[in-house]
């Protein structure tokens, strides 16, 4: 065996969020493989490390938005609220890191800057910004879907004399808005969580909104101990029910059609779901709202009416009431006191749909010829979602082919997990999997389990390389697009479609047949001996691995 063919490690994992932490634990502790994990941040947490803006919290109940892989872990952890806030979710992930002693195998403050496949040696050469090169048999990306903040279209940020904050990269020690003149640009899920809390402290808050959202009540509160006991007494069954639901939560009240019931009954259903909070209204009311425009109109009009009831000034209410796109075709934000924030004298809403933000000046935000002065500007402008974190790693597969070139017309994956010409590279919750329309910790566990079981299978067969066949990938992309075209999602400009980033190819990033259908498809592939994948020996098989 020549030394050049010897990997430094079995697996490189990127990221120390939900995905990276579970992948490291599974590979190292359950499979006894050697693993190097790199994380750009200073500690574990991923999303919940970076997004420390006021009001940041999950939109899926914490008893469900949490790991299921370890019964002791899920029994011992106590959530204090129904929907935990960012500090509590971060504490949970820190607890997971401590409990499984994960930090010792994570290199923090280190960014992976290139990932190149070496065809001769069937290894990945992974380079970090500290100059280290690690040669690895497998590469698992837990780099996240929402971890690269969008670069805004407007310029001049460097000229601003005040403070610029980004929701997706918030100061570790927080920020005190007391008596400040604050400008928030963006009214998506992050802005909608932050605005009411910033409004409580700021001397004045100006919100720059391009597209209003269908935000509905979160319904948060202290967690009910009886409900928790009930769930914990049968957690495995609760998780099974969650996994067998479109969104990965154990909802069971959905009705077939908003159009086959009369207006009174529909209103009753919407009211019940509205009052229950969370995604009940979106995912547990009527099955056809994501498919049928007429059905969608009924719920969209309901939400617009509820917004109008809460905003005192009818002109402001109309600006906040979304029109021109279907409910649910952007991820519906969940809110607490969002609309009431606009009833304060100290909050101004500026509609920048027709007259966009032109620039940031030394003193504030310029819209048309007007400059709205501010001491602090908060960019709540979203992320280069799904593909952004992968593109940022300069991934090159066989023949030096860049992932950026392979995906120049939009992402192409098999099962959202692997890519033709990029062998032994696993994407955790990659494009064309249910990912962001599935309770993410469960989606992550499913993907890490698929990747690690594929690796085990390879090793058992005395093989080294797994890669999707082109025809299987083409078929999967076609199926994903076909399913998307049966829904209302492609008609809306959202990050699900890549439409929030100028110049990004428009393509549906999500497998929309739901988590259960997706899991069935993956299970079928495995049952048929990894159908659609080529499983091979390395070109020159002198690899060593601890597995
Ligand atoms: P992340 O948590 O994004 O972690 C990826 C990590 O990889 C990051 O720490 C990043 O620094 C690191 N990284 C990326 N590239 C590199 C590189 N090249 N080198 C080194 N390190 C790198 N989902 C839900 O299901 N429910 C929710 O309620 C919910 N709320 C959310 C709230 C916010 C504010 C945001 C932004 C997202 C939310 N999401 C939610 C989605 C959320 O991203 C996932 O639930 C989950 O946290 C993703 O975990 P992850 O480990 O895959 O990725
Ligand atoms: P987002 O949903 O993409 O919202 C970004 C906002 O910024 C939009 O209102 C967008 O307007 C606006 N914007 C972007 N560029 C602009 C510009 N040049 N001028 C004016 N406005 C501009 O991003 P996000 O709010 O960070 O949320 C992203 C995702 O993260 C969510 O969909 C969700 O999946 C997750 N998240 C979840 C929660 C939660 O409740 N748990 C909280 C935060 C985030 P347009 O719509 O017109 O583009």
pLDDT value of residue 424? 98
Q: pTM for the full model?
A: 0.97
Write out the chain's pLDDT in tens, 547 residues: 333 468 999 999 999 999 999 999 999 999 999 999 999 999 999 999 999 999 999 999 999 999 999 999 999 999 999 999 999 999 999 999 999 999 999 999 999 999 999 999 999 999 999 999 999 999 999 999 999 999 999 999 999 999 999 999 999 999 999 999 999 999 999 999 999 999 999 999 999 999 999 999 999 999 999 999 999 999 999 999 999 999 999 999 999 999 999 999 999 999 999 999 999 999 999 999 999 999 999 999 999 999 999 999 999 999 999 999 999 999 999 999 999 999 999 999 999 999 999 999 999 999 999 999 999 999 999 999 999 999 999 999 999 999 999 999 999 999 999 999 999 999 999 999 999 999 999 999 999 999 999 999 999 999 999 999 999 999 999 999 999 999 999 999 999 999 999 999 999 999 999 999 999 999 999 999 999 999 999 865 544 433 3
Spacing, Cα 207 to ligand 2 middle (Å): 13
Of all ligands present, the nearest one to the C-alpha of 112 is 1
Ligand 1 centre and the CA of 326: distance in Å? 26
**366 pocket-lining for ligand 2 (C-beta < 6 Å):** no
Q: Probe ligand 1: pick from 13, 42, 46, max atoms within 8 Å of CB?
A: 46
Q: What is the DSSP letter of 332?
A: P
| SS3 of residue 149 by DSSP | strand
**Nearest residue to 418 (alpha-carbon basis) of 385, 447, 389:** 447
CA of 144 to the centre of ligand 1 (A): 4
Alpha-carbon distance of 320 to 205, in angstroms, equals 16
Q: At how many degrees (to 10) do helices 293-310 and 263-276 cross? A: 60
Could you tell me which residues come within 8 angstroms of residue 514 by beta carbon, excluding any fewer than 6 positions away? 245, 246, 247, 434, 437, 438
Ligand nearest to the CA of 384: 2
β-bridge pairing 216-217 and 465-468: unpaired
Q: What are phi and psi of 206, to 5 degrees?
A: -115, 125
Q: Which ligand is nearest to the CA of 48?
A: 1
Q: How far is the C-alpha of 364 from the C-alpha of 497, rounded, in Å?
A: 31
DSSP reduced 3-state for 80: coil
Q: Is 59 in the pocket of ligand 1 (CB under 6 A)?
A: yes
CA-proximal residue: ligand 2, atom 36 (nearest): 189
Decide if 137 contacts 10 (C-beta within 8 A).
yes
Give the residue whose CA is nearest to atom 42 of ligand 1.
Answer: 47
Asked whether the beta carbons of 184 and 380 are under 8 A apart, the reply is yes
Work out which ligand 2 atom sits closest to the CA atom of 218: 40
| Ligand 1 pocket, mutate which of 59, 440, 442, 496 (most atoms under 8 A from CB) | 440
Q: What is the DSSP letter of 138?
A: E
- Please give, one letter per residue, the 3-state secondary structure of 181-216: EEEEECCCHHHHHHHHHHHHHCCEEEEEECCCCCCE
Cα angle: 502, vertex 505, 508; to 5 degrees:
115
Q: Which residues, including other chains, have CB under 8 Å from residue 498's CB and lie 6 or more apart? A: 385, 386, 387, 410, 504, 505, 506, 507, 509
CA of 55 to the centre of ligand 1 (A): 17
Q: CA 247, CA 336: separation in Å to the nearest integer?
A: 22
The Cα–Cα gap between 365 and 359 comes to: 6
Amino acid 5: pLDDT? 65
CB-based contacts of 29-33 (< 8 A; 24+ apart in sequence): 29/100, 30/452, 31/452, 31/455, 31/456, 31/547, 32/546, 32/547, 33/455, 33/545, 33/546, 33/547
What's the confidence (pLDDT) of residue 92? 98
Question: What span, in angstroms and rounded, lies between the C-alpha atoms of 286 and 269?
Answer: 9
Mutate to test the pocket of ligand 2, among 46, 56, 188, 384 (most ligand atoms within 8 A of CB): 188
Closest alpha carbon to 23 in 9, 10, 37: 37
Ligand 2 atom closest to residue 153's alpha carbon, by position in its atom list: 18
Instruction: Give the position of tokens 């008609």.
Output: 491
The protein residue whose alpha carbon is closest to atom 6 in ligand 1 is: 15
pLDDT of 348 = 98
For residues 460 and 268, give the distance between their C-alpha atoms in angstroms, rounded to a whole number: 56
Distance CA 341, CA 312 (A): 10
| Closest residue to atom 28 of ligand 2, CA basis | 382
497 Cα: distance to centroid of ligand 1 (angstroms): 19
Long-range contacts of 350-356 (CB under 8 A, 24+ apart): 350/206, 350/207, 350/208, 350/209, 351/209, 351/210, 351/319, 352/208, 352/209, 352/210, 353/209, 353/210, 353/211, 356/153, 356/154, 356/210
Which residue reads 């409900």 in tokens?
227
Report the atom number in ligand 1 closest to the C-alpha of 20.
Answer: 51
Give the rounded distance of the alpha carbon of 493 from its chain centre. 17
Best residue among 65, 94, 115, 144 to mutate for probing ligand 1, ranked by most atoms within 8 Å of CB: 144
Interatomic CA distance for residues 177 and 179, integer angstroms: 6
Q: Which residue out of 170, 186, 497 has the highest number of ligand 2 atoms within 8 Å of its CB and is therefore the one to mutate?
A: 186
Task: Output the CA 212–ligand 1 centroid distance in Å.
Answer: 24
pLDDT at 6: 84
Give the distance (Å) from ligand 1 centre to CA of residue 9. Answer: 25
Measured from the alpha carbon of residue 64, the closest ligand is 1
188 lines ligand 2 (CB under 6 A): yes
Q: Is the CB of residue 58 below 6 angstroms from any atom belonging to ligand 2? A: yes
């Amino acid at each position: 065996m020549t030394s050049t063919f010897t990997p430094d490690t079995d697996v490189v994992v990127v990221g120390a969020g939900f995905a990276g932490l579970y992948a490291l634990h599974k590979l190292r502790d359950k499979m006894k493989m050697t693993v190097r994990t790199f994380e750009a941040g200073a500690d574990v947490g991923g999303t919940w490390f970076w997004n420390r803006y006021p009001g940041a919290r999950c939109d899926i109940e914490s008893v469900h938005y949490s790991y299921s892989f370890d019964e002791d872990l899920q029994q011992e952890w106590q959530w204090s609220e129904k929907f935990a806030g960012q500090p509590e979710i971060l504490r949970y992930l820190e607890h997971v890191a401590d409990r499984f002693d994960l930090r010792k195998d994570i290199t923090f403050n280190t960014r992976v800057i290139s990932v190149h496949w070496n065809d001769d040696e069937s290894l990945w050469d992974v380079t970090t910004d500290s100059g280290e090169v690690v040669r690895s048999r497998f590469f698992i990306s837990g780099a996240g879907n929402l971890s690269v903040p969008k670069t805004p279209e407007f310029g001049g940020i460097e000229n601003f004399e005040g403070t610029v904050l980004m929701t997706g990269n918030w100061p570790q020690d927080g920020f005190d808005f007391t008596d400040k003149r604050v400008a928030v640009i963006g009214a998506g899920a992050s802005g909608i969580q932050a605005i009411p809390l910033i409004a409580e402290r700021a001397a004045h808050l100006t919100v720059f909104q391009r597209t209003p959202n269908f935000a509905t009540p979160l319904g948060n509160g202290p967690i009910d101990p009886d409900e928790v006991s009930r769930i914990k007494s049968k957690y495995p069954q609760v998780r099974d029910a969650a996994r067998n639901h479109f969104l990965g939560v154990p909802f069971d009240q959905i009705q077939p059609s908003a159009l086959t019931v009369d207006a009174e009954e529909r209103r009753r259903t919407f009211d019940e779901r509205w009052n229950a909070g969370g995604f009940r209204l979106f995912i547990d009311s009527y099955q056809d709202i994501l498919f049928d425009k007429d059905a969608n109109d009924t719920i969209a009009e309901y939400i617009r009416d509820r917004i109008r009831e809460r905003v005192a000034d009818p002109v402001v209410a109309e600006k906040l009431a979304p029109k021109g796109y279907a409910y649910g075709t952007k991820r519906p934000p969940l809110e607490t006191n969002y609309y009431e924030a606009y009833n304060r004298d100290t909050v101004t809403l500026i509609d920048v749909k027709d007259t966009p933000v032109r620039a940031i000046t030394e003193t504030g935000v310029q819209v048309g010829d007007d400059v709205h002065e501010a001491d602090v500007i908060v960019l709540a402008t979203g992320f280069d979602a799904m593909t952004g974190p992968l593109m940022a790693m300069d991934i090159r597969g066989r023949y030096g082919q860049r992932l950026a070139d392979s995906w120049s017309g939009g992402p192409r994956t098999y099962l959202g997990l692997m890519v033709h010409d990029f062998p032994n590279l696993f994407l955790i919750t990659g494009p064309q999997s249910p990912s962001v329309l599935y309770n993410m910790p469960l989606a992550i566990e499913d993907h890490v389990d698929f990747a690690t079981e594929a690796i085990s299978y390879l090793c058992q067969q005395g093989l080294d390389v797994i890669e999707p066949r082109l025809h299987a990938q083409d078929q999967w992309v076609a199926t994903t697009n076909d399913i998307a075209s049966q829904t209302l999602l492609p008609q809306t400009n959202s990050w699900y479609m890549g439409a929030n980033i100028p110049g990004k190819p428009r393509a549906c990033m999500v497998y929309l047949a739901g988590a259960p259908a997706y899991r069935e498809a993956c299970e079928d592939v495995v049952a048929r001996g990894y159908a659609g994948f080529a499983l091979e020996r390395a070109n020159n098989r002198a690899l060593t691995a601890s597995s």
